[in-house]
């Protein structure tokens, strides 16, 4: 008997992802005070774990109550000012979100928009970066959850650094599921969130700032924002000082998850993600699904797939849910024509096999009808 049901399905959406028993227990543990030494100790462990995971050895790490979108906006408002130029390497829906955030804050945005499912050409990125005033900031999403495109972070960062820009990476759908040696790549800012490959509950905004980004933030001084002003969060990150109430249960759960990530070991974890992604892709290929992401840009954390002819994606998702498996619909240009399947965090071979089995039954039902 499967432990999953329509009401409590296996979450194979690209976040939130399943929690391990240890992380669930941490989430259900007694509530802690935001001013407790225990909460400060959890924050210290999370901050050092995230530095190691991202390969940003000297980063300031901020853990704010909020979601990934808050991390995106915080990173922007603290490191650029209205009128400055920002180049966004756009691989889908979440880069569009950065375009909106930057526009609202009065930035001069250049949007290098790739065809859906494809990588932006580096030559085009370079041409846009080198056109006109040098950009203050270049933004790229490591894995865009709408298209499944894994960016060429090394290539984009090199172009951006040549122009003197600060480089901001969105790791919401990558951090914890793939290697991010960001000091080596020249990335200055990482925004991420716990609910995907970090395998913890949603509700925290994570921002990592390199010394170069910190310098820029200090030169610019405080942004026209209160909660989002990162300087107000510096003391609460390293002591029991109060600025705003910490999300203590979420911090406790993320602390447990980070500990599990390091007990698995980073090499082993990244290898597992790669292997599970291959298993998912091979299984879906056998069931005649087509990846909508170009081969060279496939990500280890999720797959974006068109169902075979004769299989309706909305009905497929409903049938899967009746079987206790939740997958996500396509969004943006892929709405109505794709399913998105997360295979990251605590989800491994067993979970992917369960999905493939359920998909096999559901597609057989539709094609037999």
Per DSSP, the three-state class of 342 is strand
Contact criterion met (CB below 8 Å) for 150 and 169: no
Q: Determine, following the binding rule CB under 6 A, whether residue 20 of this chain makes contact with ligand PLP.
A: no
Rounded distance between C-alpha atoms, residue 289 and residue 148, angstroms: 15
Q: Determine, following the binding rule CB under 6 A, whether residue 68 of this chain makes contact with ligand PLP.
A: yes
Minimum CB distance to ligand PLP smaller for 68 or for 345:
68
Per DSSP, the three-state class of 90 is strand
Both tokens of 164, joined, read 């003197």
Q: Determine, following the binding rule CB under 6 A, whether residue 67 of this chain makes contact with ligand PLP.
A: yes
From 114, 140, 165, 193, residue interacting with ligand PLP (rule: CB under 6 A): 193
Going residue by residue from 71 to 100, which x/- string records binding to ligand PLP, judged by CB under 6 A? -----------------------x------
Contact criterion met (CB below 8 Å) for 171 and 180: yes
- Least CB distance to ligand PLP at residue 73 (A): 10
Phi, psi dihedrals of residue 96, rounded to the nearest 5°? -55, -35
Could you identify the residue written with the tokens 């499967």? 2
Could you identify the residue written with the tokens 């704010």? 64
Burial of 67 (0-12, 13-18, 19+ CB in 10 A): middle
* Number of residues near ligand PLP (by CB under 6 A): 13
Q: Which strand (E) or helix (H) includes residue 368?
A: helix 349-368
- Least CB distance to ligand PLP at residue 144 (A): 6
Rounded distance between C-alpha atoms, residue 365 and residue 369, angstroms: 6
Q: Determine, following the binding rule CB under 6 A, whether residue 176 of this chain makes contact with ligand PLP.
A: no
From 26, 172, 261, 356, residue interacting with ligand PLP (rule: CB under 6 A): 172
Q: Are strands 290-291 and 137-141 parallel, antiparallel or unpaired?
A: unpaired
From 10, 11, 15, 347, residue interacting with ligand PLP (rule: CB under 6 A): 15
- Least CB distance to ligand PLP at residue 300 (A): 14
Stretch binding ligand PLP (CB under 6 A), from 62-70, 175-183, 240-248, 347-355: 62-70
Rounded distance between C-alpha atoms, residue 65 and residue 70, angstroms: 9
- Least CB distance to ligand PLP at residue 67 (A): 3
Q: Determine, following the binding rule CB under 6 A, whether residue 69 of this chain makes contact with ligand PLP.
A: yes
- Least CB distance to ligand PLP at residue 138 (A): 16
Stretch binding ligand PLP (CB under 6 A), from 140-148, 150-158, 240-248, 286-294: 140-148
Binding site residues, ligand PLP, CB under 6 A? 15, 67-69, 94, 141, 144-145, 170, 172-173, 193, 202
């Amino acid at each position: 008997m499967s432990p999953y049901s329509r009401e409590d399905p296996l979450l194979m959406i690209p976040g939130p992802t399943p929690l391990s028993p240890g992380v669930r227990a941490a989430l259900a543990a007694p509530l802690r005070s935001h001013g407790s030494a225990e909460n400060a100790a959890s924050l210290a462990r999370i901050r050092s774990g995230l530095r190691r995971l991202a390969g940003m050895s000297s980063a300031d790490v901020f853990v704010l109550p909020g979601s990934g979108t808050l991390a995106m906006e915080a990173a922007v408002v603290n490191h650029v000012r209205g009128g400055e130029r920002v180049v966004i390497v756009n691989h889908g829906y979440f880069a569009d979100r950065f375009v909106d955030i930057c526009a609202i804050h009065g930035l001069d945005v250049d949007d290098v928009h790739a065809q859906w499912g494809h990588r932006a050409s580096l030559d085009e990125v370079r041409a846009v970066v080198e056109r006109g005033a040098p950009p203050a900031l270049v933004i790229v999403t490591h894995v865009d959850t709408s298209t499944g495109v894994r960016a060429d972070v090394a290539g984009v960062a090199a172009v951006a650094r040549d122009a003197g820009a600060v480089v901001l990476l969105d790791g919401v759908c990558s951090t914890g599921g793939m290697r991010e040696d960001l000091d080596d790549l020249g990335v200055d800012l990482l925004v991420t969130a716990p609910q995907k490959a970090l395998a913890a509950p949603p509700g925290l905004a994570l921002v990592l700032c390199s010394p170069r980004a910190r310098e820029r933030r200090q030169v610019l001084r405080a942004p026209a924002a209160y909660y989002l002003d990162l300087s107000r969060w510096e003391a609460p990150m390293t002591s029991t000082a109060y600025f705003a109430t910490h999300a203590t249960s979420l911090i406790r759960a993320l602390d447990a998850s980070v500990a599990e990530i390091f007990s698995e070991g980073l090499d082993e974890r990244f290898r597992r993600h790669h292997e599970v992604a291959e298993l998912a892709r091979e299984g879906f290929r056998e069931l005649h699904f087509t990846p909508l992401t170009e081969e060279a840009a496939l990500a280890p954390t999720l797959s974006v797939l068109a169902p075979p002819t004769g299989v309706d994606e909305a009905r497929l998702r409903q049938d899967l849910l009746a079987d206790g498996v939740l997958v996500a619909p396509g969004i943006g240009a892929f709405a109505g024509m794709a399913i998105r399947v997360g295979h990251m965090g605590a989800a491994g071979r067993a979970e992917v096999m369960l999905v493939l089995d359920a998909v096999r039954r559901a597609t057989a039902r539709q094609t037999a009808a």
